Structure 1
Amino acid sequence: MNKNKLFHPHIFVFSDSASDGNLKLPYYVTKIQKNDLTGNDIEVHLENPYNVEIEGKKGDYKMEHCSNKDFYVSLTFLYDPSISSKPSKTSVTDKKKKDSPHAAIIDESRPQSTLPSKSTKEMDSYWYKIMSNERFADIFFVSSDNVKIPSHRCILYEVSPIIAKIIDETSELPVTINVEEFNAETIKASMDFLYGKIDSIKGKENEIFKFAVKYKIKMLMDACCSFFEESVNPANVCEIIQIAYSNNFEALKQKCLKILVEKKKEIDPSKFADLPKNIISDFFAFF
Structure 2
Amino acid sequence: MSFIHANPIKYWRVRLWTLEESWTGTILILLTFFPVYFLYKLNLYRWKRALTITASVIIFISYVIVSESKGFLVLVMICVLPLAFQFIKKHKYLRRISFILAGFILALFVVAVINLRDVMFDQFNNSITFGTRFTSIYAAIDVFLHSYIGVGYSGFVNFYPQSIEAAMNSGVFDGFNLQEIKAYLSTTKALSTKSEFFDNLIFGGIVYLYFFYKFFIQRYYNLSKIARQETYFLRIPLLFIILAGIIYITYHIKYEVWLFLAFLDFVQEYYYKNAEPTKETT
Q: Normalising TM by the smaller chain, what interval? A: under 0.3
Instruction: Name whichever structure is richer in strand by fraction.
Output: 1
Greater length-normalized contact order (CA 8 Å, ≥ 6 residues apart): 2
Give me the TM-score of the superposition, normalised by structure 2. 0.19
Give me the TM-score of the superposition, normalised by structure 1. 0.19
